[in-house]
Structure 1
């Protein structure tokens, strides 16, 4: 039996997630985690992973779940991506941030406003949904998720992170996920070595928020983890339009590497203090406060 449209859509969203988060080959994917990330039930995720396994993008893992093999140019949609998608995607994000779009929209209205084909619109909405700033409504239409819109709320988000992220490192339940941390550390080292100059703001935001969330997840405290994920989604659209000059970004990536190295050598107190210093500097640079 051929895969359903839902299976193809979820599979494509998993591919988008893997690309956006730069998930490394060999990384284990878990149904429950993906279902939570994509905000769908586990059944379509399971079917989508089977489809991706058939395509050679993932493989079944010995202890359950799947591991990433090779995404490459895998395309599960009927149409190849249009190079104009990125520009339209950023325009929609910018219009939403500026208050030019209502909280709820229909596909037909978006298609008319931005001159999109059904395939283009599907790709853009799927990507925005994967990134967490829009959700499909039951039955009909889409709803934009809350986002930061003022300078004060943006600054407040950094003050909040300055409070919770160092604290998460010092949680008594903290257990280092060495493989995950080594992966994100290597990503930051590549950025510091020059790869940062080849990335746009979206890709850079995705890599950096994964670094911080990976550390928070080691706390094993669901409140810290969920709070950071939520604030990252709230500030996402602002970060798409605002980024540090790449020369300053290199400095911050080196700080990420330092924090990871401290954690990898079991120096949590120092890592927490370094995280506080790092976030203080970024807060000043991005908000002037």
Structure 2
């Protein structure tokens, strides 16, 4: 099982590097990857070792690994399956999300039922289920089978989510306990800059959601208020599938990434009040644009 998890993580990390356009030489901290994929650091370390043997990452002079010159290329076809399982798995993953939102899937299901429904192998399904579990919208039942966890399913609750974010996110920047995590914000800045400079044109809906929610959660963590951070994390888990469902307007997505860069720069410059005002405007614009899109 540990070997399987490392294989899946290696593929996910490679896909993340390719889809977000992280520059060669960029260090890949184990802790940040473990938090992103919601696993412990041990499988991340093993996954990075495997990627090093594939020349996707390379040892960093200060320890750990960095993106190699060839690491930004998309993952090659899975040699075990003889075809591009990454693309197939992503398509199946998004189809499951869409059918769940459409009410076409029951609350509980077995692996055999899903294998038959989507025409995939147990190994392919296992990778998808692990990803869904890490993202917090399914969990394994104690005895047999799996269950879907609650998510936002209506346009009205989706709008309520944005109104909730308007209440808590900007307020978090103005908390008396706010303490800037410069290193974490700079990592987010590198990611957002890569997206704004072309990466957003090819990134999957999942990669865009992960990068953007990671930035907002990083800022919430700086608030020093555990309730603000936990509230946002819980909402992000609930709204994930609704975000996948919406048609991605690449121009709007690029503009939001550039706004993220402005927000980060305000915070790095110590302009908290200006950053809070900017964040409110950013969230209002994003809510309006997405409400006008396909639900």
Q: TM-score scaled by structure 1?
A: 0.82
Q: Is 1:51 the counterpart of 2:51 in the alignment?
A: no
Q: Say which of 11, 30, 39 aligns to 2:6.
A: 11
Match of residue 28 from structure 1 = 29
Do the aligned partners of 1:8 and 1:76 also contact (CA within 8 Å) in 2? no
Q: Note if contact 1:134-1:143 (Cα within 8 Å) is conserved in structure 2.
A: yes
Contact preservation (8 Å) 1:16, 1:127: no
RMSD over aligned CA atoms reads: 3.1
The aligned counterpart of 2:207 is: 203
Aligned to 2:151: 147
CA distance in 1, matches of 2:260, 2:119: 41
State TM-score, norm by structure 2. Answer: 0.80
Equivalent-residue separation in structure 2 for 1:88 and 1:182 (angstroms) = 34
1:91 pairs with 95, 107, 119, which one? 95
* CA distances 1:88-115 after superposition (whole Å, capped 9, x unpaired): 1111111111111111111011111111
Equivalent residue for 2:249, pick from 235, 245, 249? 245
Listed one character per residue, the Cα deviations across residues 99-154 of structure 1 (whole Å, up to 9, x for unaligned) are 11111111011111111111211122122222222122224211112110111101
Relative to structure 1, is the Cα distance of residues 258 and 35 closer, same or farther in structure 2, using a 3 angstrom cutoff? Answer: closer
Write out aligned runs for 1:37-76 (5 A): 38=38, 46=42, 48-49=43-44, 51-52=46-47, 54-55=49-50, 56=52, 67-69=64-66, 72=71, 73=75
The Cα shift of 1:252 comes to 1.6
Contact 1:244 1:286 in 2 (8 A): no
After the TM superposition, which of the residue ranges 13-22 and 152-161 deviates more from structure 2?
13-22
* CA distance in structure 1 between the aligned counterparts of 2:254 and 2:232, rounded to whole angstroms: 23
Q: 1:255 aligns with which of 259, 272, 289?
A: 259
Q: Could you tell me how far 1:28 is from its partner in structure 2?
A: 2.8
1:196/1:13 Cα in 2 relative to 1: closer, same or farther (>3 Å)? Answer: same
Query: Is contact 1:79–1:119 with CA below 8 Å preserved after alignment?
Result: no
Question: CA–CA distance in 1 between the matches of 2:146 and 2:65?
Answer: 30
Q: Find the residue that maps to 2:147 and give its secondary structure.
A: strand
> Is 1:160 equivalent to 2:164 in the alignment?
yes
SS across alignment from 1:93: helix
Once the two structures are superposed, the pairs formed by residues 170-185 of structure 1 within 5 Å of their partners are 170-185=174-189
Please identify runs of 4+ aligned residues in structure 1 that moved more than 3 A: 12-25, 33-38, 49-62, 66-81
The separation in 2 between residues aligned to 1:221 and 1:75, in whole angstroms, is 44
User: What is the CA deviation profile of residues 179-210 of structure 1, one whole-angstrom value per residue up to 9, with x for unaligned ones?
Assistant: 22112122222322332222232221121111
- What is the aligned length? 274
Q: Quickly say closer, same or farther: Cα 1:20–1:129, change in 2 above 3 A.
A: farther
1:74 deviation in Å?
Answer: 9.7
Kindly state the Cα deviation for residue 257 of structure 1 after the two structures are TM-superposed.
0.9
